[in-house]
Amino acid sequence: MNELLKSVPESYFASVSTLDENLEIGEKPLINMAVGIPDGPAPETVMGTVKSAADDPLNHKYPGFRGRPSFKKAIIDFYRRHYDVELKDENIAILYGTKSMLVQFPMIFIEPGEGVYLPDPGYADYGAGVDLARGIRYDLPLLAENNFLPDYESLDPDELDNARLIYLNYPSNPLGTVATKEFFEETVSRFKNTGTKIVHDFAYAAFGYGGGHPSILQSDREFSTAVEVYSFSKSYNMSGFRSGFAVGNKEMIEAINIYQDHTQTGMWGVLQEASITALNEEDDFLIRQNEIFKARKDKVIGALSEAGIPIRPIEGGIFGWIRVPEGFDGEGFVKYLLKEASILATPGIPFGTRGKAFIRISLAVDDADLDECIERLKNISHLWDE
């Protein structure tokens, strides 16, 4: 590998994708609360489409570039139905999973030396793309006193002048916080006439516990400033399908499409047909998915708060953010949980410097494991009193 790739820090999630057999796990059966993959199956209609589409000889050939018209129509109809946003073909890029494009986008959009604002705490792998683009990572602080929304007035003017992109992610991984339509209005207004564009990672769009989440495109109806990245992985239990899309600003979308013209030969037709079925036929599945995770959220927040364990309110998404007891940092407490309670959690530090004193737990486990995890945490709740 070249020196640039060597310089990129190791991906935390790649390093823990398989459980290390040398982990010091306690006597009880391991409960994996680190995984961010919803635990249910994909919708039955989607699986029916997969089975029939796999037998279609058309899907045994190269699928064509930039996605089928029927896939784009399903996306247009979905955004019209859910967000009252009117997209055109030029506003859509089909993605082979969303993580790859969230990482790659700085590599195809910024020039070396230009800056990208990344949320802290925020998803760990955003920064790799900035490094590979030879860009500069700029800190976008998410602080409790501002409801974990960026305070743009506090940002350094010189950095703002050099910033080409700003990444946002609401509902937030790992914080579980959400953004309002008013915040998106302010954000679009703030950056509309600047050289800075916005990338909104909307992976947890389906999980809203105080009502539906706004799309940033509702505040950028001319698509002047932002793209939004939507994933099938969490919303439809389709993480293994590696399907998603980006919608919004024409210039940003065209950059994605041109890049993929050179690096892909189109998404497998079976995956496109499965995605079309999800968008067109499974609005009720999104409602049921939200209900499942809301019940889990209510259970976890209620039980841990009552036990005195400082977990943040979960307003959206599928993760809980817990401050560790005095005397620990996040990494040390993850090791303690493994050894003493056989619980695998995620330390906060991969999400940025502001995550050092936190761990992240996932709601994407079955109810029996969730109940058992709650009991094990309650049994060590005295640690937070010491």
Structure tokens at 87: 């997209």
Polymer length in residues for the chain:
386
Instruction: Compute the distance between CA of residue 69 and CA of residue 269 in angstroms, rounded to an integer.
Output: 12
CATH 3.90.1150.10 fits 3-41+284-381, yes or no: yes
Closest CA to 87 of 74, 68, 100, 101: 74
Per residue of the chain (386 residues), give pLDDT as tens.
888 887 777 776 665 554 555 677 778 999 999 988 888 899 999 999 999 999 999 999 888 889 999 999 999 999 999 999 999 999 999 999 899 999 999 999 999 999 999 999 999 899 999 999 999 999 999 999 999 999 999 999 999 999 999 999 999 999 999 999 999 999 999 999 899 999 999 999 999 998 889 999 999 999 999 999 999 999 999 999 999 999 999 999 999 999 999 998 889 999 999 999 999 999 999 999 999 999 999 999 999 999 999 999 999 999 999 999 999 999 999 999 999 999 999 999 999 999 999 999 999 999 999 999 999 999 999 999 86
Considering the domain 44-282, what is its CATH architecture?
A: 3-Layer(aba) Sandwich (3.40)
| Residues 321, 176 contacting (CB under 8 angstroms) | yes
Do 173 and 231 meet the contact criterion of CB atoms below 8 Å apart?
no
C-alpha Rg value of the chain to the nearest Å: 21
Q: How far is CA 62 from CA 66, 71, 269, 270, 345, in A?
A: 12, 16, 8, 11, 41
Name the residue ranges covered by the structural domains of the chain.
3-41+284-381, 44-282
pLDDT, tens digit, 9 for 90 and up, residues 333-372: 999 999 999 999 999 999 999 999 999 999 999 999 999 9
pTM confidence score: 0.94
